[in-house]
Amino acid sequence: MNPYVNFVARHAAMLKEGKGLPLGGFPLPSRPGPESGAPVAMIFSPHPDDECIVGGLPLRLQEEKGWRVVNVAVTQGSNRERQEARLVELRGACEYLGFGLETIGERGLEKVTPQARASDPAGWAAKVGAIADVLRRHAPRMVLLPHAQDWNGSHIGVHWLVMDALAGMGAGFETLLLETEFWGQNYQPNLLVEIPEPTLVQLITALTFHVGEVRRNPYHLTLPAWMTNSVRLGGETVGGQGKAPPDFPFGTVYRLRRWSGGAVSGVFAGGRVVRADDDVEAALRG
């Protein structure tokens, strides 16, 4: 018998079984709060749930190095009938992860797309101002934002919204830029970060708090496979073409750069692989 018949069948059965697992409502983990003056990692999320999908590195920084993580809900989704419910779900997810939450207005920003950036300069400028206000208040040491080709219009819009806000912050503002991917592959990653199993469990569990979304599409169940594929990709796109991928099962790829003096610059040459037992904070330095 071909052993891969059983291998594939187990995968399919596991996904089917996962659809019967509970969603949301899990007790909050006990964790110490960040110390006063802890460095801030700020996630600019195009939609509620992105904080769970791309938040592996920030969660490691929080748990391993005492950083404070703040999720900025740039939008609350495009379905106005779901916006209030999505905010409730988002609060539950952020509380579970220990992330702070910044909202913009009662319903988040609307029409955060490249098309709106081009067609409505005045409206776009007001949105840029709202993001700049968040940056000034928190002075994050790291900013996470989607990369510029992340396919989804809101993801690409958030990329340019944050970049435009940074451009208006003045030459003295400095932060690390960590570009994320989900809908479209980032073709210039330079960082592959292992996501240890307990960290992945936390991310999936938090993602289940977005009950209305994962009932429609149970993408919390495919997050491990996505992270395994990220290791496959990152093994070569970060580690070097033709190189063997690392032997850990789950990871996330990012593009790390620096914003300083009103412009983007590199942090280090080449790519870096950050394993579970590596100093994740030290890996971000030049």
pLDDT tens-place string over residues 168-188? 999 999 999 999 999 999 999
Distance of CA 275 to the CA centre of its chain: 18
The domain that contains 110 carries what CATH number? 3.40.50.10320
3-state secondary structure of 252: strand
Does any domain span residue 186? yes
Tokens matching residue 160: 């340019």
* pTM attached to this predicted model: 0.96
How high is the pLDDT of residue 121? 97
Establish if 26 belongs to a structural domain: no
Q: pLDDT tens-digit profile of 254-284?
A: 999 999 999 999 999 999 999 999 999 999 9
> Is 4 among the domain residues?
no
| Length of the chain counted residue by residue | 286
Q: Which own/partner contact pairs does 117-125 have at CB distance under 8 Å and 24+ positions apart?
A: 117/157, 117/160, 117/161, 117/164, 124/161, 124/164
Q: Residue 94's closest CA among 198, 179, 177, 24? A: 24
Q: 3-class SS at 279?
A: coil
Determine the pLDDT at residue 286.
87
Q: Is residue 247 included in any domain, yes or no?
A: yes
CA distance 173 to 171: 6
Question: Is the residue at 21 inside a domain?
Answer: no
The pLDDT tens digits of the residues spanning 76-127 come to 998 999 999 999 999 999 999 999 999 999 899 999 999 999 999 999 999 9
- In the predicted model, is pLDDT for residue 130 greater than 90? yes
Helix, strand, or coil (residue 27): coil
Across the range 146-163, mean pLDDT stands at 98
List the domain range (segments joined by +) for residue 245. Answer: 37-284
How many domains, in total, are found in the chain?
A: 1
Share of the chain above pLDDT 70, in %: 100
Q: Is 195 a domain residue?
A: yes
Is residue 27 one of the residues assigned to a domain?
Answer: no
| CB distance 167 to 204 below 8 Å | no
Which pLDDT does position 270 carry in this prediction? 95
Residue 181 is encoded by which pair of tokens?
Answer: 């991917």
pLDDT at 191: 98
* Average of per-residue pLDDT across 136-143: 98
Q: What six digits make up the tokens of 26?
A: 């899990």
Vertex 132: Cα angle to 79 and 170 (nearest 5): 155
227 — pLDDT class (breaks 50, 70, 90) = very high
SS3 content of the chain, % helix, strand, coil (to 5): 45, 15, 40
Q: Could you tell me if residue 3 is inside a domain? A: no
By the 8 A CB rule, do 196 and 224 touch? no
